[in-house]
Structures are given as C-alpha cells and as structure tokens.
Amino acid sequence: MTQSPYVRPFAELGMADLEQVGGKNASLGEMVSNLSSLGVSVPDGFATTVEAFRRFIGDTGLAEEISSALKGLDPDDTLELARVGRSLRESVAAQAFPPEVEADIRAAYERLVDGREGVSFAVRSSATAEDLPDASFAGQQETFLNITGIDGVLQAVREVFASLYNDRAIAYRVHHGFDHDEVGLSAGVQQMARSDVGASGVMFTMDTESGFDDAVFVTSSYGLGEAVVQGAVNPDEFYVYKPALRAGRPAILKRGVGSKATKMVYTDDASVGRTTAFVDTDPAERGLLSLTDAEVEELARHALVIEEHYGRPMDIEWARDGVDGRLYILQARPETVMSRAGVQQRFRMKDTGTVVVEGRAIGQKIGAGPVRVLTSVDQMHEFVQGEVLVADMTDPDWEPIMKRASAIVTNRGGRTCHAAIIARELGIPAVVGTGGATRELTDGRDVTVSCAEGDTGFVYDGRLDFSVEETELSAMPDVPTKIMMNVGTPEQAFAFARLPHSGIGLARLEFIINRQIGIHPKALLDHASLEEPLRSEIAEATKAYASPREFFVRRVAEGVSMLAAAFAPEPVIVRMSDFKSNEYANLVAGELYEPHEENPMIGYRGASRYLSADFADCFAMEAEALRYVRDEMGLTNVKVMIPFVRTLAEADGVIALLAEHGLVRGENGLEVVMMCEVPSNAILADEFLERFDGFSIGSNDMTQLTLGVDRDSALVAGSFDERDPAVLFMLERAIEACRKAGKYVGICGQGPSDHPDLAQWLLERGITSMSLNPDTVVDTWLALAETGTQG
C-alpha cells in the first residue's frame, strides 16, 4: 500500500518523523513500534501530517488571512489577542478539507475502526515544536475526547487545527520566539481507553518539586484524565522507589488519598453529539485509593521502560480501562522543568502570621502581593503585574497572564494540574487545592504565599518578611566531620537530600506518627470497641487501608521509606517513638489511654514505655514497619535508635524485644544505636556500648538532666547551656568510650550551630558526626570548614 502524504498510522511512526507529525504523535509511534514488546500498551491510532495541515491552510487561502492577522500582534494586549484569536479559529473550524486530504483521513479511519461499533476516539494536537526537551507546548492546543463517527473525527481535526490560534498558543509562540508560520500541526486520532469507568492520571519519572530522580511520581483519579490535567480534581498521589522496583521488591514509598470529588465521564447528548461531562464522585469512593498497589507498581515499571528508552526524565499520561482492566499509556513527553534546574535557592519565612487558606505547595518559593480573584478568562485584562492570581482552577487560556503573577492560588487541583505545571515552568510559587481561596480572599488584600515550609502551602495575611539564599552546592568545601540532618517530615525528604549531607542522624518516628497518622496507636488497635462518633472518625481516616492496624504500619513504613530512599545509600538513623504522655494525649483518642504525669519529660517515655505490657502491641507495630522497610523494601541503610534508656536492664530488655519482632542486631546489617541523653548513659558508657552499636548524644536532655534544669521553664532558662563544664564532662566520657570501642558517636541538636566554640570542642574530641536541622546545614558546614582550615 502506497504511503499517504497526509495520514500515517502510529505503527509506522517514530521520533525521526517529528517534523511530519509533531512531538506527541512521533512519541506515540515510537512507543508503539519499540516498546509494545516490553509490555507498554498504547491505544492504536493514526496521525495527520504537517503536509495535510499545510494543504488545509494553503490551498484554501487561510494562510494569508492568518499571517496578516498575526503580524505585529501584541500578546500582552489580552483584549486584542482574544479578538484576533477568536476570528481565526472561526475561520479555520469552518473550512472544508481539500478532497485528497479528507479522502485519506476517511480511509485511515475505516482501517482503524475495522467494522466495530461504538468505538470512540481522542483527537489531540501535536505541534512540530511541541514536547521538545527545552520547550513545553503541552496543552497549548485543544484535545477532544469521546469522538465517534467519521464526521465527528473530521470536525474534531478541524477544531484541533483551529486551536493552533488559541490565545495562549499565540502568546506562547511570541514569548518563546517561535515563528507562527514555521510551527506545523498534526492531529492524532487515538482509540480511547475506557477510563471513564476506570481511572487515569499523570506520572513523572522524577519528583517534580525537588528533581529527585530515583522515584516515579504517580497521580490517579477516577474517570477521564483530563480532570487531573485540568486541575479539576485533587487526585491520589503515589511515590515508587526505582531501585526497589528494579529488584522486584515492594516499592511504594507513599500513598496519598486525594479528595477526588468529581470525575469526567462519557455523556450522551443528542444536541451536541457524544461528549464528556463532570459528575460528582460517589462519596463512598472518595476516601479510597483509585489504584491498587499492583497497578501502581505496574505503571511505574512502564515508566521505567519509557524513561530508559528515551534516556531522560519523562512526563507520561496513562489510563486504566474499566472494561478490560488493562493499563494503557496515552502520551509520553520529556519532563521540561526540573531538567533545567540550576543553582539551589532556599526561601525562608522570617515571620509567620495568620493563615488564610492552605493547600498543596508547588515549588519551594515564596511570593507576595495584592490578591486578584478572577472567575473567568474574560477578566484577564484586569490583571496587573505582581498580583497574586486567585482562581477556582486554571487552564491553558490563562497562560498569557500567569507569567505576570507573583504567586498563584487555586481552589482545585493537585501537583500535576495545569496551574502546577505552569507555575513550575515559570518559577512561580503556587498553592493548589485550597478548597476555598476564591471565597476567603478578596481583591486588593495583601498576602504572602509560602511554598517553602514543606508539602503544605500557606497563604498568610499581609506582606511578611522572607529571605532568599542561593548556594552553589557543587562548590561546598571539605569539612573535618560528617554533617548529617535531623529530618522528621517525609514530604520534604527529597528536597532536603539535595543539600550536602552524610545521611540522617535523627529521624523522629513521633513526627511521622503525628503528621501521617494523628491517631493514638491503641485506639487503632481497639477501633472495633470504641464508641461513636470516634469509631466512625477513625474508620473514615483509615478506610483506604485494609484495617486500622494496617493503616498504622503502612503509614509509618511509608514515612520511613521516603526518608531512607531520599538519603540512600547514606545511613538514616530512625529513633523509635519518643512521645511523652502529654504529647500522646494530644493525638486523636489519646486522652483515653494516657496517664496524667506531673513531669512527663522524665516519666513514661522511651525504653520503659516500650517494655511495658500496656504498650507492647503498639511497639510491635512500630517494629513491624521498620522491619518491612529494611527486609522487604531492601532499604538497609535504616538504623534503629532507642531513646531514653535509663538502665542496663532496660537496654537488655529493648534489644531482646526488637529481636522478638524480627529486628535482630547484626542481622542483615542492622545496627541499633542508643540516644545518649541520660547521665547514667555517660557514666556507664562502656557497659551500654556492649549492647549498642554507638551513641547519638541528645544534648538537650543531657544538659537538662545533668544540670537539673527544666528546659521548658522560662524561669530557669538562663541556666541551660550545653557548654557547662558538667555537661562537657558527660559528653567527653561518651565520646571517649565510643572512640575506644570503635563505635559511632554523633550529636543531634542545635548546639554546634548555635555555639561555634562547642562545635570546635566536639571536633577536637573526635565526634563522628553532627546532625543538624536542614536550615542550618549550609551555614554550619561553611563555618566548620573555616574552623578546620584555621585548625
């Protein structure tokens, strides 16, 4: 069969055909031709060629009309841009195809349908400058879903051609230096996967916020994927660890349940033909995960195959067909934001004030300015440079003004929605999925939008002070000790791992429990016997997991594995939970289980709590989570640390208890470290080190207990000083004992950052490592390097 100059089947295409069918269709052909044998399923289809587009506008006189209309157009004049764009789109959409072009499209359609009834198609644009490594045209033109019949396909192709003259597409080409006449357009006609009764989403082969490239980031929601791309829905989110996946081990680092309040489905409307519509998601489904673990890992394996084939980070759209149950890849394009990242900037809030709204943080920057609430793209001309754009959601029509915003805030959307993608592209902070920003924020109100405080983005009232620091991390000098970090927030792990480090010296399990669980562990175990409404509250919070107990174990494992994966292969020292009784009481249902203590700081905590019969089942869950991370996921860089061990008997008891739960010191490389924070630990350092693989000095508790100073009391705060001779005596005993035994000794706390003379003293005594809060790592690193040079 003679090859048509106007239409090409996907199976005959590859990246070498980019100039003829554009980036998107060339990539689809590339995957169909090369990756099908590796298990990557791509729905079949065909592409019109750029030659077909040239004939369409050239033979009909449209080319002259378009060139004349766009000559000298100022894209920042949004009213004129809208007028010209609308006129051009109407002309293109109404134009008939040249007979030869239409005949070839009809023939390709008939071959694809092959007599089947009820087959529906997606008709998408594919520009010759689209999806290139250094440009992102994705979403600039229109996509038409659930198109049936040849007449519907022909009209959808015309509409795709017309969308080359959307306002945002015109503006993007001007701002990025692309000649309107040189950008060719292809239309892809692809059979639809029935995700309208399944699920769909987007995945990236790297973390889009930090650039961490050992994880696949997957988003998922019910229904058609346009809902996720548009930001109309807050999807589920998953992280999958590539090394574990390649090793055939359990690989999911994180499962995040999105609200998924709405979904896009097929609809039948005789007046406009068969199209799509948004409907409310069944409330019973919203709290569940839209993918199984097996499906998440299968998608991630497809992502690895695609990334390996293209040799670069990729942005991939996928769908699960609700009829045949299979997973399909719909598109794949280069990831274009983090691949262009340069020197690290670190934004810090100097003060925090009243939070007006909060949502998902996009990027790690801070912006401030007056609010501008827009409910329609028709209001774009009102937007002024430097304002904070607030909208229900955005789509590509908003792009001409988004670059002028100091920050973006939306009611709806997740990390892969349109607003998030464009905010990253532009380097603008955005807070998406706030739920009520357009209601809570009003025009002219000054706000500060912070994405520099972790996974959650905050919109503060007023213009608040913040700082920006730039660090060329590749130029960091050598230091005379190991610098580790104190990290207890898994959602920030990938970003923190970009700082210079030798691992995590203190990962507080209680931080993970507080942030990712928030419920007292005994209440999860006793869930069936709790009274209402507490029982229903816990059931709702844990419904995405097999049981409340499974919820605890998996969530702890997720938190720990995120930290361990981010910092691998460096050690990650995880301290078992060290809540005091008053802190445990603050968890949901905590007051039902916790005693009232006059001084919880020296009460029911640490090793003594683990060894009590009342807490045995709770400790078993913590141990199970850590064993799963080490032995099943293969993250053996995790070390276990035991806090507040008062006596040698407690030390023996805890080591035996860990072994009962499968955490045997020395097996599979497991090291068990002890917090050296009670004076008895330093006094009997040699004996404690017979039972543990090293010390991590907790200078706060050691100072408090050595000097008899309540560190929470302002009345005696002036007496609290880690540099007191009595405290230094204890620290020196601990360090010397570790050095003599050839075992690890580190210190976790801000003493070395706050007191350069203490840091110097520790270096002289031979401390193995200093574990610092991330915001002090760079400054302390540079200070220690200078100290080492002077020494």
Name the residues annotated as catalytic: 418, 748
Could you give the residue ranges of the DSSP H alpha helices within 269-387? 283-286, 293-310
Cα distance between residue 568 and residue 421, in whole Å? 28
Cβ proximity of 132 and 334 under 8 Å: yes
Cβ proximity of 123 and 160 under 8 Å: yes
Cβ proximity of 167 and 5 under 8 Å: no
Distances (CA, A) of 261 to 265, 489, 516: 13, 27, 22
Cβ proximity of 639 and 671 under 8 Å: yes
Cβ proximity of 256 and 218 under 8 Å: no
Rounded to 5 degrees, φ, ψ at 701 are: -70, -35
Structure tokens at 348: 């810090």
Cα distance between residue 316 and residue 313, in whole Å? 10
Cα distance between residue 355 and residue 600, in whole Å? 31
Which residues make Cβ contacts (< 8 Å) with residue 263, sequence separation at least 6?
A: 221, 222, 223, 224, 227, 233, 278, 279, 281
How many Å from the N-terminal Cα to the C-terminal Cα in the chain?
A: 80
Structure tokens at 324: 């045949």
Cα distance between residue 496 and residue 566, in whole Å? 8
Side chain identity at 108, as an amino acid letter?
A
Cα distance between residue 46 and residue 11, in whole Å? 8
Cα distance between residue 627 and residue 718, in whole Å? 43
Give the three-class secondary structure for 252.
Answer: strand
In sequence order, what E strands does 205-258 have? 215-222, 236-241, 252-256
Cβ proximity of 640 and 574 under 8 Å: yes
Cβ proximity of 187 and 105 under 8 Å: no
Write down the residue that tokens 């919820």 correspond to: 551
Judged on CB neighbours under 10 Å (0-12, 13-18, 19+), 634 is buried
Q: Rg of the Cα trace of the chain?
A: 29
Structure tokens at 737: 């004992």
Judged on CB neighbours under 10 Å (0-12, 13-18, 19+), 546 is exposed
- Asked, as a colleague might, if the bond just before 569 is cis with ω within 30 of 0, I would say yes
> Which DSSP string do the residues of 65-125 spell out, in sequence order?
HHHHHHTT--TT-HHHHHHHHHHHHHHHHHPPPPHHHHHHHHHHHHHHHTT-SS--EEEEE
Q: How many CB atoms lie within 10 A of CB 12?
A: 14
- Asked, as a colleague might, if the bond just before 533 is cis with ω within 30 of 0, I would say yes
Cα distance between residue 730 and residue 744, in whole Å? 17
Cα distance between residue 619 and residue 590, in whole Å? 16
Cα distance between residue 591 and residue 740, in whole Å? 45
Cβ proximity of 112 and 189 under 8 Å: yes
Give the three-class secondary structure for 399.
Answer: helix
Give the 3-state secondary structure percentages of the chain, helix then strand then coil, rounded to 5: 45, 20, 35
Structure tokens at 591: 């007051």
Cα distance between residue 564 and residue 17, in whole Å? 42
Q: What angle do CA 317, 322, 328 make, to 5 degrees?
A: 30
Cα distance between residue 56 and residue 67, in whole Å? 15
